[in-house]
Amino acid sequence: MALTAPQIMVRAASAQIATASEVGNPGFCTFKLGDFQVTTILDGGRPSEGPHPTFGEDQEAGAVAELMEANFLPADQFVNGFAPVVIDTGSEKILFDTGLGEGGRANGLGLLRERMQAAGHQPDEIDVVVLTHFHGDHIGGLMEAGAPAFANARYVAGQAEYDFWTAPERAEGQTANAAKAVEANVVPLAENMTFLADGDEVASGINAVAAFGHTPGHLAFSVESGGRRLMLTADTSNHYVASLMRPDWHVRFDMDKEMAVETRKRIFDQIATERIPFIGYHMPFPAVGFVEKIDLGYRYVPATYQFDL
Ligand SMILES: [Zn+2]
C-alpha cells in the first residue's frame, strides 16, 4: 500500500484538527487490488462530542465511556472522517460518494475535489459516480457552483434509496432537510442515472449488496479483480470501536435501528469469515482494514502492507 495517511492531530485545547496540508501530507491513499487501482480520499475530519449518544443511543453513557477508555479513546470527543473512493478499473474511473462538497468548506471539509486531483484523478475524468445512499455527507459534492461537479459522469444509485427520498411525504417532518438536499443535488442528475437492486453490476467485478437499515436503500459494494476481493461497506458501521465491537448498539443516524444491526452483523460476519479487506466511509483514514470476529462483535485491524505483496 502506497500509504500516505494523514497524521490527524486533535489539539486538546481547541478540539480542532489539523488539515492534511498543515501536516504536510496529501490526504489520499492508493493501492492495487488485482487489476484495479483503488484510492481512498479524505474529504475531511470533523471533531465533535461523543461518541455517546450518537453511538450506543440505547446504552448508558458509562458503558460507552468504558469501551472507549479500554480502547485508548476519549469518552467525550471523537473525530468522524469521510472517505470517498475512486476505483480505476483500467477502462473506467468510478467514484463512490462525493463528500460534503461546498457546504463543508467553511469547516475544513469538502476537500475531495482538490485531493482527488492531487491523487491523479481530475473531476472531469470520472466516468461513473456511485451513490451508496443519499445522506448529505455522501451527496454534498455532486454539485459545484450550481453545476454537476463531475461533468462527464453518469450516475448509479439504489432504486429503493431514490424512491424513498423522492416520495412526496419526505418533504415534511424529520426527513424534510435531507429531502431538500436530494432535490437540489440528486434529482437534477436523475435522467443520467441508473438504478440498482441487490446484486446488480456497476462494472465488471463491482456489484451492489443490499445493506438496508442505515437508510432504506443503503448499498454496500463487492469488488473483485484478478482474484482479489474487497467490500465497500459505506455506512454499514460508522465507528471502528463503538459500532464494530458492539454491532448491537443503536446508532442515531441509522434510520431503522434494528435492521441496521442485522445488516451490520450479516455484512461483517461475511467479511470476517472470508478474511477480505473492506473500506468503510467513516473508518479511521485511510479507511481500509479487516475485521476479526470476537466475543460481542468485531475487532478492527487497520490495513498496512497487505496490498503491496
Ligand atoms: Zn455517512
User: How many domains is the chain built from?
Assistant: 1
Distance 225 CA to ligand 1 centre (A): 26
The whole domain housing 144 covers: 28-308
CA distances from 245 to 75, 78, 166, 194 (A): 15, 16, 34, 35
Output the CA 198–ligand 1 centroid distance in Å: 20
Q: Compute the distance from residue 132 Cα to the ligand 1 centre, in Å.
A: 9
127 belongs to a structural domain? yes
Residue 216 falls inside a structural domain: yes
CA of 235 relative to ligand 1 center, distance in Å: 6
Which grid cell is 72? Answer: 485508548
User: Strands (DSSP E) along 132-287, which ranges?
Assistant: 143-144, 147-148, 154-158, 193-196, 201-203, 206-210, 219-225, 228-234, 278-280
- Cα of 290 vs centre of ligand 1, distance in Å, is 19
pTM score, two decimals? 0.93
Q: Spell out the per-residue pLDDT of the chain, length 309, in tens.
A: 444 444 444 433 344 555 555 566 689 999 999 999 999 999 999 999 999 999 999 999 999 999 999 999 999 999 999 999 999 999 999 999 999 999 999 999 999 999 999 999 999 999 999 999 999 999 999 999 999 999 999 999 999 999 999 999 999 999 999 999 999 999 999 999 999 999 999 999 999 999 999 999 999 999 999 999 999 999 999 999 999 999 999 999 999 999 999 999 999 999 999 999 999 999 999 999 999 999 999 999 999 999 998
Strands 219-225, 143-144: pairing is: unpaired
Assign residue 62 the CATH number of its domain: 3.60.15.10
Does residue 11 lie in a domain region? no
Q: Is position 257 within any domain?
A: yes
Alpha carbons 236 and 298: distance in angstroms, whole number: 13
CA of 35 to the centre of ligand 1 (A): 28
Separation of 100 CA from ligand 1 center, angstroms?
10
Query: Residue 309 C-alpha to ligand 1 middle, in angstroms?
Result: 31
With contact defined as beta carbons under 8 Å apart, do 115 and 26 qualify?
Answer: yes
How many whole angstroms from 12 Cα to the centroid of ligand 1? 25
Tell me if 7 is assigned to some domain: no
